[in-house]
């Protein structure tokens, strides 16, 4: 049995392919971009649509990010400008590695948004888009920006997961944990700002 469902308006396109109870591979329709998939759905979205203006698309973005959990941390210092984040530049981690901004770079690249893997550059990228930066009411999939202790720069970045008991949880490449991990802000503290994923537009990821 073949079943497909196209959400109305700007919602993500959801495709399900079943035949004799078995899930078969599918590709996104022409004019759309692949965002991710799970056991039941293939997530696609029309080129030019806003990235994060519906929950299905944000879920796909977060799923892509969660797929990086456990990857080793390695300080890359912006050495992913060519997009090759799958290979550790020092060959220390043959299966790949991330630092905080390289992880955000890779997740945004999955929806065709290219932002240099440097925390300050990523903050400025969102700052230069109308309504790109917000200081409250984050939505899962938004980008978390954390300021350095001396307040001179953005020192860390990650992907917002949620808030529980007043504490912000975010997926990040953590130097403390030495891997990609879900961290939480210290009690009583909040990120400096959030990058509003809803303002981004889907582009080609290749």
User: What's the confidence (pLDDT) of residue 84?
Assistant: 54
Task: Give the C-alpha separation, 12 to 23, whole Å.
Answer: 20
User: What's the confidence (pLDDT) of residue 81?
Assistant: 40
User: What's the confidence (pLDDT) of residue 35?
Assistant: 72
Task: Give the C-alpha separation, 82 to 106, whole Å.
Answer: 11
User: What's the confidence (pLDDT) of residue 19?
Assistant: 29
pLDDT tens across 145-178, in order? 999 888 888 999 999 999 999 899 999 998 888 8
Return phi, psi of residue 166, to 5°: 80, 5
In this structure, of 5-14, 72-81, 132-141, 172-181, the range with the lowest mean pLDDT score is: 5-14
Over 70: is that where the pLDDT of 15 sits? no
pTM (2 d.p.): 0.76
User: What's the confidence (pLDDT) of residue 21?
Assistant: 33
User: What's the confidence (pLDDT) of residue 162?
Assistant: 93
State which of 46-60, 85-99, 105-119 shows the largest mean pLDDT: 105-119
| Complete edge-to-edge strand list for the sheet that includes strand 193-195 | 133-134, 193-195, 143-147, 154-164, 167-174, 179-184
Q: How big is the chain by its Cα radius of gyration, in Å?
A: 17
Over 60: is that where the pLDDT of 102 sits? yes
User: What's the confidence (pLDDT) of residue 182?
Assistant: 95
Topology (CATH level 3) of domain 50-199: endopeptidase fold (from Nostoc punctiforme) (3.90.1720)
């Amino acid at each position: 049995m073949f079943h497909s469902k196209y959400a109305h308006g700007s919602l993500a396109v959801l495709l399900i392919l079943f035949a004799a109870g078995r899930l078969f591979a599918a590709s996104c329709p022409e004019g759309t971009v692949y965002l991710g998939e799970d056991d039941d759905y293939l997530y696609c979205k029309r080129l030019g649509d806003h990235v994060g203006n519906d929950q299905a698309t944000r879920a796909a973005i977060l799923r892509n990010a969660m797929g990086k959990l456990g990857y080793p941390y390695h300080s890359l210092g912006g050495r992913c400008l060519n997009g090759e984040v799958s290979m550790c530049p020092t060959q220390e981690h043959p299966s790949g590695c991330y630092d905080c901004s390289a992880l955000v770079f890779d997740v945004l690249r999955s929806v065709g948004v290219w932002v240099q893997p440097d925390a300050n550059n990523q903050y400025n990228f969102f700052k230069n888009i109308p309504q790109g930066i917000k200081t409250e009411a984050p939505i899962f999939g938004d980008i978390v920006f954390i300021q350095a202790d001396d307040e001179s720069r953005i020192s860390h970045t990650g992907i917002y997961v949620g808030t529980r008991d007043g504490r912000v949880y975010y997926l990040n490449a953590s130097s403390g944990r030495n891997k990609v991990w879900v961290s939480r802000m210290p009690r009583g503290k909040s990120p400096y700002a959030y990058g509003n994923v809803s303002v981004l537009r889907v582009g080609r990821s290749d």
